[in-house]
Structure 1
């Protein structure tokens, strides 16, 4: 009787590890001209799991194994993009520029603030 209980307990523990496995998805993020994008946020939809791309646009993120997973790519000045991934193959994503969103952002020496949230005066410096 003890042997049967020990055998059942061992089988339960071994199957628990099967469900807890995960997979790693790797890929690269470029802009619409093909240049690599650094500091792009990559997040698994519906979870708090996320990472950022490095200076070469490469990323690696660990997700639960099995089935499709949706990755959300976002960066300031670019249109957010969602990509469904199935399997472990490399994911190459291209983000389009969204210049309209940069009009309301003010970059100061240590933080970024939306123009409508400012309480002080602001000067704009152009390239002209």
Structure 2
């Protein structure tokens, strides 16, 4: 019997859906949008380490085989933080005892800050047009 766990993470305008396959074979795949993690983030080791951080904290780095992530919207920073939230949530779905560890490092808290909308009569949301005396 193949068992899948899934979770959703959001950050700014990015949404990440993660599916984790709990099986005992040794094919370790970490796929983001049908690409390997190294190809998707262009060998950026800092972002890769940030994404794997929940697995490192809980000592589950090589335990789960097929991790498939679908992410859309935003840039690399928003996408990576949405993936981190989704991974943390799926780890808590698999085993609730890891919730305390992940909560301690604020990995289960959704960062709700989004871009403020532009107001009329201004250049951006708060910036005003340049004032000229003469």
| TM-score interval, smaller chain | under 0.3
Q: What TM-score do you get using the length of structure 2 for normalisation? A: 0.25
Comparing both structures, which one devotes a greater share of its residues to strand? 1
TM-score (norm 1): 0.25
Higher helix share: 2
Bigger relative CO (Cα 8 Å, ≥ 6 apart) = 2
